[in-house]
Amino acid sequence: MTSTPETAAGAGAGDASSPWPLPSLRRSGSATQLVVDGAPFLVRGGELGNSSAERTHLAEHWDKLRSLGLNTLVAPVCWDVVEPVEGQFDWSTVDELVEDAAAHGMRLVLLWFGTWKNSMSCYAPGWVKSDVERFPRCRTSSGQALEILTPFSAANRDADARAFAALMGHLRESDERRTVVLVQVENEIGMIPEARDHSAEAETAFDGPVPAELVGYVEDHRGGLAPELADVWEPEVSRRGGSWVEVLGEGPSTDEIFMAWHFARYVQAVVEAGKAQLDLPMYANAALIRPGALPGQYPSAGPLPHLVDVWRAGAPALDFIAPDIYFPNFAEWAGRYARTGDPLFVPEALRSTDAAANALYAYGAHSAIGFSPFGIESIEGDAATLLAAANDVVRQLTPLMTAHAGDGSMTGLLPPTDDQRTPHRVRLGEVVLEASYEREAAPSLADGVINEVGDRSTDTRRLPAGAVVIRTGPDDLVLGGIGVTVTFSPVRPGSEHVGVLSCEEGRYDDGVWTHRRWLNGDETHQGRHLRLEPGRVSLQRVRLYRYR
Protein backbone atom coordinates (compact mmCIF):
# COMPACT_ATOMS: atom_id res chain seq x y z
CA MET A 1 0.00 0.00 0.00
CA THR A 2 1.35 3.43 -0.94
CA SER A 3 1.06 6.09 1.75
CA THR A 4 1.14 9.87 1.33
CA PRO A 5 4.14 11.82 2.66
CA GLU A 6 3.21 13.36 5.98
CA THR A 7 2.23 17.02 5.96
CA ALA A 8 -0.27 19.34 7.57
CA ALA A 9 -3.37 20.06 5.53
CA GLY A 10 -3.09 23.02 3.25
CA ALA A 11 -3.66 24.30 -0.25
CA GLY A 12 -1.83 26.47 -2.69
CA ALA A 13 -0.91 26.86 -6.32
CA GLY A 14 1.66 24.48 -7.75
CA ASP A 15 3.89 25.10 -10.73
CA ALA A 16 2.90 24.19 -14.25
CA SER A 17 3.93 20.55 -13.90
CA SER A 18 2.40 19.73 -10.49
CA PRO A 19 -0.90 20.28 -8.70
CA TRP A 20 1.05 20.57 -5.43
CA PRO A 21 2.76 23.82 -4.41
CA LEU A 22 6.50 23.98 -4.11
CA PRO A 23 7.89 23.85 -0.58
CA SER A 24 8.99 27.32 0.49
CA LEU A 25 10.17 29.40 3.42
CA ARG A 26 8.07 32.13 5.02
CA ARG A 27 8.52 34.52 7.91
CA SER A 28 6.45 34.10 11.09
CA GLY A 29 7.22 36.74 13.69
CA SER A 30 10.95 36.52 14.33
CA ALA A 31 11.12 32.96 12.97
CA THR A 32 11.23 31.46 9.49
CA GLN A 33 9.13 28.39 8.78
CA LEU A 34 9.34 25.69 6.15
CA VAL A 35 6.00 25.45 4.35
CA VAL A 36 4.97 22.20 2.69
CA ASP A 37 1.63 21.80 0.92
CA GLY A 38 0.72 25.29 2.14
CA ALA A 39 1.21 24.61 5.86
CA PRO A 40 4.16 24.86 8.31
CA PHE A 41 6.23 21.68 8.42
CA LEU A 42 8.81 20.55 10.98
CA VAL A 43 11.46 18.15 9.67
CA ARG A 44 11.78 15.20 12.04
CA GLY A 45 14.73 13.95 10.13
CA GLY A 46 17.46 11.39 10.00
CA GLU A 47 20.46 11.56 7.70
CA LEU A 48 21.58 8.36 6.05
CA GLY A 49 25.20 7.30 5.98
CA ASN A 50 27.00 8.43 2.85
CA SER A 51 26.67 5.01 1.16
CA SER A 52 23.24 3.99 2.45
CA ALA A 53 20.76 5.66 0.07
CA GLU A 54 20.42 3.01 -2.63
CA ARG A 55 17.23 0.97 -2.85
CA THR A 56 18.90 -2.42 -2.46
CA HIS A 57 20.62 -1.34 0.76
CA LEU A 58 17.87 0.84 2.18
CA ALA A 59 15.08 -1.72 1.75
CA GLU A 60 15.88 -3.48 5.02
CA HIS A 61 15.84 -0.24 7.02
CA TRP A 62 12.45 1.32 6.24
CA ASP A 63 10.57 -0.31 9.12
CA LYS A 64 13.19 0.91 11.56
CA LEU A 65 13.16 4.43 10.11
CA ARG A 66 9.40 4.62 10.46
CA SER A 67 9.58 3.32 14.04
CA LEU A 68 11.85 6.27 14.91
CA GLY A 69 9.02 8.69 14.21
CA LEU A 70 10.76 10.31 11.24
CA ASN A 71 8.80 12.23 8.65
CA THR A 72 11.84 13.10 6.51
CA LEU A 73 14.92 11.30 5.29
CA VAL A 74 18.09 13.28 4.56
CA ALA A 75 19.93 11.51 1.76
CA PRO A 76 22.78 12.12 -0.69
CA VAL A 77 22.71 12.40 -4.45
CA CYS A 78 26.21 11.67 -5.78
CA TRP A 79 27.55 13.49 -8.82
CA ASP A 80 29.79 10.59 -9.85
CA VAL A 81 26.82 8.20 -9.83
CA VAL A 82 24.30 10.36 -11.70
CA GLU A 83 26.74 11.62 -14.38
CA PRO A 84 29.23 8.79 -14.93
CA VAL A 85 29.90 10.04 -18.46
CA GLU A 86 29.95 13.75 -19.20
CA GLY A 87 26.54 14.88 -20.36
CA GLN A 88 24.94 11.44 -19.84
CA PHE A 89 22.76 11.17 -16.74
CA ASP A 90 21.49 8.11 -14.90
CA TRP A 91 18.66 9.08 -12.54
CA SER A 92 17.74 5.57 -11.39
CA THR A 93 19.13 5.99 -7.85
CA VAL A 94 17.33 9.34 -7.47
CA ASP A 95 14.04 8.01 -8.80
CA GLU A 96 14.15 4.94 -6.58
CA LEU A 97 14.89 7.06 -3.51
CA VAL A 98 12.01 9.46 -4.21
CA GLU A 99 9.60 6.60 -4.98
CA ASP A 100 10.51 4.62 -1.87
CA ALA A 101 10.37 7.64 0.44
CA ALA A 102 6.91 8.54 -0.81
CA ALA A 103 5.77 4.94 -0.49
CA HIS A 104 6.82 4.97 3.17
CA GLY A 105 5.15 8.28 3.96
CA MET A 106 8.33 10.36 4.14
CA ARG A 107 9.68 13.56 2.65
CA LEU A 108 13.25 14.03 1.49
CA VAL A 109 16.05 16.50 1.98
CA LEU A 110 18.51 15.86 -0.83
CA LEU A 111 22.23 16.47 -0.34
CA TRP A 112 24.11 17.38 -3.52
CA PHE A 113 27.48 15.71 -3.17
CA GLY A 114 29.03 17.65 -6.03
CA THR A 115 32.38 19.41 -6.14
CA TRP A 116 33.02 19.18 -2.38
CA LYS A 117 32.14 16.73 0.35
CA ASN A 118 33.87 17.26 3.72
CA SER A 119 36.33 19.55 1.92
CA MET A 120 37.44 16.84 -0.53
CA SER A 121 36.29 16.33 -4.12
CA CYS A 122 35.72 12.59 -3.70
CA TYR A 123 32.28 12.66 -5.37
CA ALA A 124 33.43 14.37 -8.56
CA PRO A 125 33.04 11.95 -11.52
CA GLY A 126 36.02 10.09 -12.85
CA TRP A 127 36.03 12.16 -16.03
CA VAL A 128 36.53 15.23 -13.86
CA LYS A 129 39.13 13.77 -11.52
CA SER A 130 41.28 12.32 -14.27
CA ASP A 131 41.43 15.48 -16.41
CA VAL A 132 43.63 17.60 -14.17
CA GLU A 133 44.39 20.17 -16.86
CA ARG A 134 40.75 20.96 -17.57
CA PHE A 135 39.59 20.57 -13.96
CA PRO A 136 42.41 21.97 -11.77
CA ARG A 137 43.02 21.37 -8.07
CA CYS A 138 43.76 23.54 -5.08
CA ARG A 139 47.44 23.65 -4.15
CA THR A 140 49.37 24.11 -0.94
CA SER A 141 51.88 26.92 -0.43
CA SER A 142 54.60 24.48 -1.53
CA GLY A 143 52.77 23.74 -4.77
CA GLN A 144 51.41 20.29 -3.86
CA ALA A 145 48.11 19.39 -5.51
CA LEU A 146 45.21 18.56 -3.19
CA GLU A 147 42.20 16.28 -3.59
CA ILE A 148 40.16 19.50 -3.69
CA LEU A 149 38.89 21.07 -6.91
CA THR A 150 39.75 24.76 -6.92
CA PRO A 151 36.85 27.23 -6.78
CA PHE A 152 38.88 29.55 -9.06
CA SER A 153 38.20 27.40 -12.13
CA ALA A 154 35.25 28.26 -14.36
CA ALA A 155 35.41 24.74 -15.82
CA ASN A 156 34.98 23.17 -12.36
CA ARG A 157 32.13 25.51 -11.50
CA ASP A 158 30.26 25.15 -14.77
CA ALA A 159 30.47 21.35 -14.84
CA ASP A 160 28.99 21.18 -11.33
CA ALA A 161 26.32 23.77 -12.12
CA ARG A 162 25.23 21.91 -15.27
CA ALA A 163 24.90 18.64 -13.36
CA PHE A 164 23.00 20.25 -10.50
CA ALA A 165 20.68 22.03 -12.93
CA ALA A 166 20.02 18.69 -14.63
CA LEU A 167 19.13 17.15 -11.25
CA MET A 168 16.70 19.94 -10.41
CA GLY A 169 15.20 19.82 -13.88
CA HIS A 170 14.67 16.09 -13.49
CA LEU A 171 12.98 16.59 -10.11
CA ARG A 172 10.72 19.24 -11.62
CA GLU A 173 9.38 16.65 -14.04
CA SER A 174 9.56 13.45 -11.98
CA ASP A 175 8.80 14.46 -8.36
CA GLU A 176 5.24 15.53 -9.00
CA ARG A 177 4.17 15.02 -5.39
CA ARG A 178 7.01 17.27 -4.15
CA THR A 179 8.50 14.64 -1.90
CA VAL A 180 11.74 16.68 -1.87
CA VAL A 181 11.32 19.66 0.47
CA LEU A 182 14.88 21.01 0.84
CA VAL A 183 18.15 20.70 -1.05
CA GLN A 184 21.66 21.01 0.39
CA VAL A 185 24.24 22.33 -2.08
CA GLU A 186 27.67 20.66 -1.64
CA ASN A 187 28.67 19.28 1.77
CA GLU A 188 30.91 20.82 4.45
CA ILE A 189 32.89 23.01 2.08
CA GLY A 190 36.27 24.04 3.45
CA MET A 191 40.03 24.38 2.96
CA ILE A 192 42.42 22.02 4.69
CA PRO A 193 45.32 21.57 5.61
CA GLU A 194 46.07 25.23 4.84
CA ALA A 195 43.76 28.20 5.12
CA ARG A 196 43.72 29.09 1.43
CA ASP A 197 44.34 27.81 -2.05
CA HIS A 198 47.76 28.69 -3.54
CA SER A 199 47.07 27.72 -7.14
CA ALA A 200 48.13 30.26 -9.76
CA GLU A 201 44.56 31.51 -10.23
CA ALA A 202 44.09 31.84 -6.48
CA GLU A 203 47.34 33.78 -6.06
CA THR A 204 46.30 36.24 -8.76
CA ALA A 205 42.92 36.79 -7.08
CA PHE A 206 44.52 37.19 -3.65
CA ASP A 207 46.88 39.88 -4.92
CA GLY A 208 44.02 41.76 -6.54
CA PRO A 209 41.48 44.10 -4.94
CA VAL A 210 38.69 42.96 -2.64
CA PRO A 211 35.64 42.62 -4.95
CA ALA A 212 33.33 45.62 -5.09
CA GLU A 213 30.30 43.41 -4.33
CA LEU A 214 31.76 42.39 -0.98
CA VAL A 215 32.85 45.94 -0.16
CA GLY A 216 29.37 47.22 -0.94
CA TYR A 217 27.68 44.56 1.18
CA VAL A 218 29.89 45.30 4.18
CA GLU A 219 29.29 49.03 3.87
CA ASP A 220 25.51 48.53 3.60
CA HIS A 221 25.43 46.23 6.64
CA ARG A 222 28.07 47.91 8.78
CA GLY A 223 25.90 47.98 11.94
CA GLY A 224 24.97 44.32 11.85
CA LEU A 225 28.10 42.49 10.80
CA ALA A 226 29.39 39.44 12.60
CA PRO A 227 31.90 40.83 15.13
CA GLU A 228 34.74 38.72 13.73
CA LEU A 229 34.43 40.50 10.37
CA ALA A 230 33.69 43.94 11.79
CA ASP A 231 36.82 43.77 13.95
CA VAL A 232 39.21 43.26 11.01
CA TRP A 233 37.57 45.18 8.18
CA GLU A 234 39.25 48.50 7.30
CA PRO A 235 36.51 50.52 5.58
CA GLU A 236 38.67 53.41 4.46
CA VAL A 237 41.10 51.10 2.70
CA SER A 238 38.35 49.03 1.08
CA ARG A 239 36.68 52.14 -0.35
CA ARG A 240 39.95 52.98 -2.10
CA GLY A 241 40.07 49.52 -3.65
CA GLY A 242 42.61 47.88 -1.39
CA SER A 243 43.91 44.35 -1.68
CA TRP A 244 42.86 41.57 0.68
CA VAL A 245 45.89 42.12 2.87
CA GLU A 246 45.46 45.92 2.82
CA VAL A 247 41.81 45.67 3.88
CA LEU A 248 42.07 42.78 6.33
CA GLY A 249 45.72 42.48 7.28
CA GLU A 250 47.94 39.48 6.79
CA GLY A 251 47.19 36.14 8.45
CA PRO A 252 44.96 33.05 8.49
CA SER A 253 41.81 35.10 9.18
CA THR A 254 42.31 37.02 5.94
CA ASP A 255 43.04 33.79 4.07
CA GLU A 256 39.80 32.32 5.36
CA ILE A 257 37.66 35.32 4.44
CA PHE A 258 39.24 35.35 0.96
CA MET A 259 38.39 31.67 0.44
CA ALA A 260 34.90 32.06 1.88
CA TRP A 261 34.13 34.71 -0.72
CA HIS A 262 35.28 32.51 -3.60
CA PHE A 263 33.59 29.37 -2.27
CA ALA A 264 30.39 31.40 -1.91
CA ARG A 265 30.62 32.76 -5.46
CA TYR A 266 31.06 29.23 -6.79
CA VAL A 267 28.06 28.00 -4.81
CA GLN A 268 26.01 30.98 -6.01
CA ALA A 269 26.48 29.87 -9.62
CA VAL A 270 25.45 26.30 -8.76
CA VAL A 271 22.38 27.43 -6.80
CA GLU A 272 21.27 29.84 -9.52
CA ALA A 273 21.51 27.09 -12.13
CA GLY A 274 19.45 24.74 -9.96
CA LYS A 275 16.80 27.25 -8.97
CA ALA A 276 16.29 28.21 -12.60
CA GLN A 277 15.00 24.65 -13.03
CA LEU A 278 13.16 24.15 -9.71
CA ASP A 279 13.00 26.82 -7.02
CA LEU A 280 13.17 24.70 -3.88
CA PRO A 281 14.66 26.10 -0.65
CA MET A 282 18.43 25.53 -0.68
CA TYR A 283 21.09 25.72 2.00
CA ALA A 284 24.78 25.03 2.62
CA ASN A 285 26.08 23.18 5.68
CA ALA A 286 29.29 23.53 7.65
CA ALA A 287 31.70 21.41 9.66
CA LEU A 288 32.23 23.27 12.93
CA ILE A 289 35.43 24.43 14.57
CA ARG A 290 37.16 22.45 17.28
CA PRO A 291 38.17 24.57 20.29
CA GLY A 292 41.42 26.39 19.64
CA ALA A 293 41.70 25.37 15.98
CA LEU A 294 42.94 27.96 13.47
CA PRO A 295 41.91 28.31 9.82
CA GLY A 296 43.44 25.42 7.93
CA GLN A 297 43.24 23.15 10.99
CA TYR A 298 39.51 22.67 10.32
CA PRO A 299 37.54 22.89 7.04
CA SER A 300 38.04 26.64 6.79
CA ALA A 301 35.95 29.21 4.89
CA GLY A 302 32.73 27.19 4.92
CA PRO A 303 29.32 28.63 5.87
CA LEU A 304 30.25 29.25 9.50
CA PRO A 305 28.55 31.90 11.66
CA HIS A 306 31.59 34.19 11.82
CA LEU A 307 31.61 34.19 7.99
CA VAL A 308 27.86 34.59 7.47
CA ASP A 309 28.21 38.08 5.96
CA VAL A 310 30.74 36.90 3.41
CA TRP A 311 28.49 34.02 2.41
CA ARG A 312 25.42 36.25 2.21
CA ALA A 313 27.26 38.70 0.01
CA GLY A 314 28.74 35.99 -2.19
CA ALA A 315 25.79 33.57 -2.41
CA PRO A 316 22.56 35.56 -1.99
CA ALA A 317 20.57 32.83 -3.76
CA LEU A 318 21.18 30.48 -0.81
CA ASP A 319 18.23 30.51 1.58
CA PHE A 320 20.25 29.81 4.73
CA ILE A 321 23.36 28.23 6.20
CA ALA A 322 23.26 25.27 8.58
CA PRO A 323 25.47 23.62 11.22
CA ASP A 324 26.45 19.97 11.55
CA ILE A 325 26.64 19.73 15.35
CA TYR A 326 28.69 16.87 16.74
CA PHE A 327 30.17 18.71 19.71
CA PRO A 328 28.70 18.51 23.24
CA ASN A 329 28.06 22.29 23.41
CA PHE A 330 24.97 21.91 21.26
CA ALA A 331 23.15 24.93 22.72
CA GLU A 332 26.11 27.23 22.05
CA TRP A 333 26.40 26.28 18.38
CA ALA A 334 22.65 26.32 17.81
CA GLY A 335 22.54 29.81 19.32
CA ARG A 336 25.38 31.08 17.14
CA TYR A 337 23.54 30.01 14.00
CA ALA A 338 20.18 31.27 15.21
CA ARG A 339 21.73 34.70 15.89
CA THR A 340 22.58 35.03 12.19
CA GLY A 341 18.86 35.52 11.53
CA ASP A 342 18.65 32.39 9.38
CA PRO A 343 16.23 29.59 10.27
CA LEU A 344 17.91 26.88 12.32
CA PHE A 345 18.15 23.54 10.55
CA VAL A 346 20.50 20.85 11.88
CA PRO A 347 21.09 18.41 9.00
CA GLU A 348 23.65 16.38 10.94
CA ALA A 349 23.89 15.68 14.66
CA LEU A 350 25.41 13.03 16.88
CA ARG A 351 23.12 10.00 17.13
CA SER A 352 23.72 9.59 20.88
CA THR A 353 21.07 9.52 23.58
CA ASP A 354 21.47 13.32 23.77
CA ALA A 355 19.87 13.63 20.33
CA ALA A 356 16.42 13.37 21.94
CA ALA A 357 17.04 16.35 24.24
CA ASN A 358 18.91 18.36 21.62
CA ALA A 359 16.03 18.01 19.18
CA LEU A 360 13.46 19.25 21.70
CA TYR A 361 15.72 22.15 22.61
CA ALA A 362 16.29 23.18 18.98
CA TYR A 363 12.59 23.27 18.17
CA GLY A 364 11.73 25.08 21.40
CA ALA A 365 14.55 27.58 21.85
CA HIS A 366 15.02 28.53 18.20
CA SER A 367 11.86 27.46 16.34
CA ALA A 368 14.09 25.12 14.31
CA ILE A 369 12.68 23.91 11.01
CA GLY A 370 14.35 20.54 11.48
CA PHE A 371 16.77 18.26 13.30
CA SER A 372 18.49 15.20 11.89
CA PRO A 373 20.93 12.75 13.54
CA PHE A 374 23.55 11.33 11.18
CA GLY A 375 23.84 7.65 10.26
CA ILE A 376 20.24 7.21 11.27
CA GLU A 377 20.00 3.66 9.92
CA SER A 378 22.65 2.66 12.49
CA ILE A 379 21.04 4.12 15.61
CA GLU A 380 20.36 1.48 18.29
CA GLY A 381 19.40 0.93 21.92
CA ASP A 382 18.50 3.79 24.24
CA ALA A 383 19.45 6.38 21.63
CA ALA A 384 16.86 4.96 19.21
CA THR A 385 14.16 4.52 21.86
CA LEU A 386 14.54 8.05 23.22
CA LEU A 387 14.76 9.67 19.80
CA ALA A 388 11.54 7.94 18.77
CA ALA A 389 9.84 9.23 21.93
CA ALA A 390 11.14 12.76 21.35
CA ASN A 391 9.96 12.67 17.74
CA ASP A 392 6.53 11.59 18.93
CA VAL A 393 6.37 14.61 21.25
CA VAL A 394 7.43 16.88 18.38
CA ARG A 395 4.74 15.33 16.19
CA GLN A 396 2.12 15.94 18.87
CA LEU A 397 3.27 19.51 19.48
CA THR A 398 3.79 20.54 15.86
CA PRO A 399 0.51 22.54 15.64
CA LEU A 400 1.42 24.40 18.85
CA MET A 401 5.08 24.89 17.96
CA THR A 402 4.36 26.23 14.49
CA ALA A 403 1.59 28.49 15.84
CA HIS A 404 3.91 29.97 18.50
CA ALA A 405 7.07 30.18 16.37
CA GLY A 406 8.69 33.57 16.59
CA ASP A 407 6.19 35.17 18.99
CA GLY A 408 8.28 34.87 22.17
CA SER A 409 6.00 32.32 23.85
CA MET A 410 8.21 29.27 23.34
CA THR A 411 11.63 28.26 24.62
CA GLY A 412 13.87 25.27 25.13
CA LEU A 413 15.77 23.91 28.13
CA LEU A 414 19.18 22.25 27.92
CA PRO A 415 22.02 22.18 30.47
CA PRO A 416 24.21 25.24 29.79
CA THR A 417 27.26 23.30 31.00
CA ASP A 418 28.01 19.61 31.33
CA ASP A 419 28.16 19.80 35.13
CA GLN A 420 25.41 22.38 35.71
CA ARG A 421 24.80 22.66 39.47
CA THR A 422 22.87 25.88 40.02
CA PRO A 423 19.36 26.22 38.62
CA HIS A 424 19.29 27.27 34.99
CA ARG A 425 17.12 30.43 34.80
CA VAL A 426 15.16 31.10 31.59
CA ARG A 427 12.54 33.82 31.26
CA LEU A 428 9.33 33.07 29.40
CA GLY A 429 6.85 35.92 29.39
CA GLU A 430 6.17 37.07 32.96
CA VAL A 431 7.55 34.00 34.64
CA VAL A 432 11.08 32.68 35.19
CA LEU A 433 11.71 28.96 34.77
CA GLU A 434 14.39 27.59 37.10
CA ALA A 435 15.48 24.26 35.67
CA SER A 436 17.54 21.49 37.21
CA TYR A 437 18.71 18.56 35.10
CA GLU A 438 18.89 14.86 35.97
CA ARG A 439 21.32 12.85 33.85
CA GLU A 440 21.04 9.58 35.79
CA ALA A 441 18.12 7.33 36.63
CA ALA A 442 16.42 8.23 39.89
CA PRO A 443 16.93 5.96 42.94
CA SER A 444 13.96 3.67 43.43
CA LEU A 445 12.97 5.38 46.71
CA ALA A 446 13.38 8.93 45.43
CA ASP A 447 10.41 9.23 43.13
CA GLY A 448 9.60 12.89 42.64
CA VAL A 449 12.86 14.09 44.20
CA ILE A 450 15.87 15.46 42.32
CA ASN A 451 18.91 13.22 42.58
CA GLU A 452 21.26 14.50 45.26
CA VAL A 453 25.02 14.10 45.18
CA GLY A 454 25.92 10.87 46.95
CA ASP A 455 22.45 9.40 46.45
CA ARG A 456 22.87 7.89 43.00
CA SER A 457 21.18 4.99 41.32
CA THR A 458 23.21 1.89 40.52
CA ASP A 459 22.17 2.53 36.90
CA THR A 460 25.05 4.69 35.68
CA ARG A 461 23.83 5.26 32.13
CA ARG A 462 24.15 8.92 31.17
CA LEU A 463 20.66 10.05 30.21
CA PRO A 464 19.62 13.03 28.13
CA ALA A 465 18.02 16.06 29.78
CA GLY A 466 16.12 18.78 27.94
CA ALA A 467 12.69 20.10 27.08
CA VAL A 468 10.53 22.31 24.93
CA VAL A 469 8.26 24.77 26.78
CA ILE A 470 5.26 26.53 25.22
CA ARG A 471 3.27 29.26 26.99
CA THR A 472 -0.31 28.77 25.84
CA GLY A 473 -1.85 31.33 28.22
CA PRO A 474 -0.77 33.86 30.87
CA ASP A 475 -0.21 31.10 33.43
CA ASP A 476 -0.57 27.99 31.26
CA LEU A 477 2.45 26.03 30.02
CA VAL A 478 3.00 22.86 28.03
CA LEU A 479 6.31 21.06 28.60
CA GLY A 480 7.64 18.08 26.69
CA GLY A 481 10.94 16.51 27.55
CA ILE A 482 13.08 14.34 29.78
CA GLY A 483 15.16 14.69 32.93
CA VAL A 484 14.14 18.26 33.78
CA THR A 485 12.65 19.62 36.99
CA VAL A 486 11.27 23.17 36.85
CA THR A 487 10.27 25.57 39.58
CA PHE A 488 8.73 28.95 38.84
CA SER A 489 9.32 32.48 40.07
CA PRO A 490 8.17 35.99 39.15
CA VAL A 491 10.28 38.13 36.82
CA ARG A 492 10.62 40.82 39.51
CA PRO A 493 11.62 39.41 42.90
CA GLY A 494 9.44 40.51 45.80
CA SER A 495 6.75 39.23 48.06
CA GLU A 496 4.89 37.41 45.28
CA HIS A 497 5.47 33.71 44.71
CA VAL A 498 4.53 31.47 41.77
CA GLY A 499 3.05 28.09 42.60
CA VAL A 500 1.67 25.09 40.72
CA LEU A 501 -2.11 25.20 40.65
CA SER A 502 -2.50 22.01 38.64
CA CYS A 503 -0.35 19.63 36.64
CA GLU A 504 -1.38 16.79 34.37
CA GLU A 505 0.29 14.29 32.09
CA GLY A 506 -1.20 13.42 28.74
CA ARG A 507 -0.78 13.70 24.99
CA TYR A 508 -2.14 15.54 21.98
CA ASP A 509 -4.09 13.58 19.40
CA ASP A 510 -4.77 15.57 16.23
CA GLY A 511 -4.25 18.76 18.19
CA VAL A 512 -6.65 17.81 21.00
CA TRP A 513 -5.33 17.20 24.51
CA THR A 514 -6.01 13.74 25.93
CA HIS A 515 -5.70 13.54 29.71
CA ARG A 516 -3.77 10.61 31.21
CA ARG A 517 -3.42 11.46 34.90
CA TRP A 518 -3.29 14.32 37.38
CA LEU A 519 0.09 14.85 39.02
CA ASN A 520 0.42 16.01 42.62
CA GLY A 521 2.02 15.02 45.91
CA ASP A 522 5.39 13.35 45.35
CA GLU A 523 5.18 13.85 41.59
CA THR A 524 5.14 17.66 41.99
CA HIS A 525 7.15 17.85 45.24
CA GLN A 526 3.95 18.76 47.10
CA GLY A 527 2.95 21.36 44.53
CA ARG A 528 6.32 23.07 44.25
CA HIS A 529 7.67 21.91 40.89
CA LEU A 530 7.01 20.20 37.58
CA ARG A 531 9.17 17.18 36.87
CA LEU A 532 9.86 15.39 33.60
CA GLU A 533 11.46 12.29 35.02
CA PRO A 534 14.81 10.96 33.74
CA GLY A 535 14.84 8.10 31.27
CA ARG A 536 11.35 8.74 29.90
CA VAL A 537 10.13 11.42 27.49
CA SER A 538 6.78 12.77 28.63
CA LEU A 539 4.36 15.61 28.03
CA GLN A 540 2.75 17.70 30.79
CA ARG A 541 0.49 20.72 31.12
CA VAL A 542 0.81 22.99 34.12
CA ARG A 543 -1.29 25.91 35.37
CA LEU A 544 0.44 28.39 37.64
CA TYR A 545 -0.93 30.80 40.24
CA ARG A 546 0.42 33.71 42.27
CA TYR A 547 0.35 34.03 46.04
CA ARG A 548 1.83 36.26 48.75
CA 163, CA 270: separation in Å to the nearest integer?
9
pLDDT tens, N- to C-terminus, the chain (548 residues): 333 444 433 333 345 456 789 999 999 889 999 999 999 999 999 999 999 999 999 999 999 999 999 999 999 999 999 999 999 999 999 999 999 999 999 999 999 999 999 999 999 999 999 999 999 999 999 999 999 999 999 999 999 999 999 999 999 999 999 999 999 999 999 999 999 999 999 999 999 999 999 999 999 998 899 999 999 998 888 888 889 999 999 999 999 999 999 999 999 999 999 999 999 999 999 999 999 999 999 999 999 999 999 999 999 999 999 999 999 999 999 999 999 999 999 999 999 999 999 999 999 999 999 999 999 999 999 999 999 999 999 999 999 999 999 999 999 999 987 777 788 999 999 999 999 999 887 665 344 444 444 444 455 578 999 999 999 999 999 999 999 999 999 998 887 899 999 999 999 999 999 999 999 999 999 889 999 999 999 999 999 999 98
CA 49, CA 297: separation in Å to the nearest integer?
25
Tell me if residue 510 falls in helix, strand or coil.
Answer: coil
- pLDDT tens sequence across 32-62: 999 999 999 999 999 999 999 999 999 999 9
Return all residues near 276 (Cβ < 8 A) that are at least 6 apart: 165
Proportion of the chain in helix, strand, coil states, percent, rounded to 5: 30, 30, 40
- Sequence-ordered alpha helix ranges (H) in 83-176: 92-103, 126-129, 154-174
Task: Output the CA torsion 284→288→294→298 (10° steps).
Answer: -70
**Phi-psi category of 81—alpha, beta or left, where left has phi over 0 and alpha has psi -120 to 50?**
alpha
Domains and their CATH numbers in the chain: 24-318 (3.20.20.80), 412-547 (2.60.220.20)
**Phi-psi category of 511—alpha, beta or left, where left has phi over 0 and alpha has psi -120 to 50?**
left
Closest CA to 286 of 333, 252, 332: 333
Closest CA to 352 of 307, 322, 383, 392: 383
Bridge-based pairing of strands 345-349 and 370-373 is parallel
H or E element at residue 412:
strand 410-413
Q: What angle do CA 46, 47, 51 make, to 5 degrees?
A: 140
Amino acid at 340: T
H or E element at residue 357:
helix 354-366
Closest CA to 55 of 88, 102, 118: 102
CA 281, CA 181: separation in Å to the nearest integer?
7
Question: 547 burial class (0-12, 13-18, 19+ CB within 10 angstroms)?
Answer: exposed
Q: What is the pTM of this model?
A: 0.92
